[in-house]
Amino acid sequence: QVQLVESGGGLVQPGGSLRLSCAASGSIFSINAMNWYRQAPGKQHELVAGITNGGSTNYADSVKGRFTISGDNAKNTVYLQMNSLKPEDTAVYYCNADGLYINYEEFNSWGQGTQVTVSS
């Protein structure tokens, strides 16, 4: 199994910053990509940002220019730096990873989620 452990959520005022981290552990041979999703109350689950093991990144239009995703392949860890936060960024943020187990079978795993609340 692969475990994803997220950290870094919390309460922040509008315009503030937070940095989320997600560390993957377990029977991992390789990770293809790691992503951050979010889900706000009453809204659909949406992809916020993703990064491949080669360093290619993609972002939702709503966060471009404000959020930055980065990764540390050696540590199987991904980060999401969130700046200029807005109340509409309030959501539970989930880490997701896909790759290969050590037996070369594919996996797609999710973290437990971390709450981000942007409010004055």
Q: How far is residue 48's CA from residue 106's CA, in Å, rounded to a whole number? A: 23
Q: What's the first-to-final CA gap in the chain, in angstroms?
A: 40
pLDDT at 117: 98
The residues of the chain scoring below 70 in pLDDT are none
∠ CA 59-62-66, nearest 5°, is: 75
pLDDT in tens, 58-87: 999 999 999 999 999 999 999 999 999 999
pLDDT at 13: 98
